[in-house]
Copies of this chain bind each other. A is one copy, B any other.
Amino acid sequence: MSQANDTRPTLRVIKIGGNVINNADLLQRFLVDISNIEGPFILVHGGGNIATTVAEQMGIQQTLVDGRRITNAETLRVAVMVYAGLINKTIVANLQALNCQAMGFTGADGNLVRSTKRVSTEIDFGFVGDVEVSGINVAKFSEIIHSGTVPVICSITHDGRGTLLNTNADTMAARIAVALASPFQVNLTFCFEQVGVLSEPSNPASLLTTLSKSACENLKATGAVTAGMIPKLDNAFWAFEQGVSSVSICHAQHIASASAKFIGTTLV
């Protein structure tokens, strides 16, 4: 796709995974790297395993149904405290110390991300919110970005009626990227603890530098991509098909690598 005549400004949307957040040294190196990024970006984060630790300290039992975590009222309170409080503000304070003009948000702030409480079917997931592109406040995000501010947004959203909801951070990053692909040329990057998509699990040498949708379907069929990766890849391909200019998956420590020597997987 030629972008020579594309007058939209560029914007990076960067999602960091829980394993980066869980490791204070890795997180700090990541923040140093992104503070050196030229041009505007948005950072999207979840909560790692800190929320689980805090819930255990508070004596709150994690409820699992068919292996899936339920967000009851007490679990939501912990998620809001940990994601929107502890993690979000730790990231913002550290970015500010690196002269990066960051501001931390949930989806409720400025009505940035509105979601819909998931309807119970066989399983009642509790206070979980699903986000559509229409729930992203493009005007407010654009205003914040044009003011020179870096939005740091955690995966807590709201329903517009006063209820906060726990949201999947990968999906949220994909929805934000697609919604902002109208005013911006968006580059979406999912950062996690592996070098990218591997054709052989646990073998970094098997890194696939590019990945097409058909190749991805083959990897799923052979079981080469693990269950945890599949929703991330589905979000990534969905965003790419919906107008995001480029989508990549890489290790957090490779976020700042120039595109010429990018280490990771780029969707094609």
Complex CA–CA separation, A162 to B163 (angstroms): 31
- CB contact under 8 A between A92 and B77, given known A84-B84, A84-B85, A147-B143: no
Write the nearest CB–CB distance from A87 to chain B, whole angstroms. 9
> Across the interface, which residues of B come within 8 angstroms of A88, CB to CB?
84-85
**What number of copies of this chain does the assembly contain?**
2
Write the nearest CB–CB distance from A267 to chain B, whole angstroms. 33
B92, A85: Cβ atoms closer than 8 Å: no
Complex CA–CA separation, A257 to B106 (angstroms): 32
B58, A110: Cβ atoms closer than 8 Å: no
> Across the interface, which residues of B come within 8 angstroms of A162, CB to CB?
93-94, 96-97
Of all chain B residues, the one with the shortest Cβ separation from A56 is: B58
Complex CA–CA separation, A57 to B109 (angstroms): 28
Write the nearest CB–CB distance from A38 to chain B, whole angstroms. 20
DSSP majority for the A interface? helix
- With an 8 Å Cβ cutoff, the count of chain A residues facing the other chain is 40
A97, B161: Cβ atoms closer than 8 Å: yes
| A177-233 at interface with B (beta carbon < 8 Å) | none
> With an 8 A cutoff between CB atoms, is A141 at the interface?
no
B92, A108: Cβ atoms closer than 8 Å: yes
A90, B164: Cβ atoms closer than 8 Å: yes
A104, B109: Cβ atoms closer than 8 Å: yes
Looking at A57, A102, A110, A147, which has the most chain B CB atoms within 10 Å of its CB? A110
> Which 9 residue pairs across A and B have the least CB separation, nearest first?
A85-B85, A81-B81, A97-B162, A81-B85, A93-B108, A57-B58, A84-B85, A103-B109, A93-B158
- Apart from A84-B84, A85-B88, list 4 A-B contacts with CB within 8 A: A57-B59, A85-B86, A93-B164, A94-B162
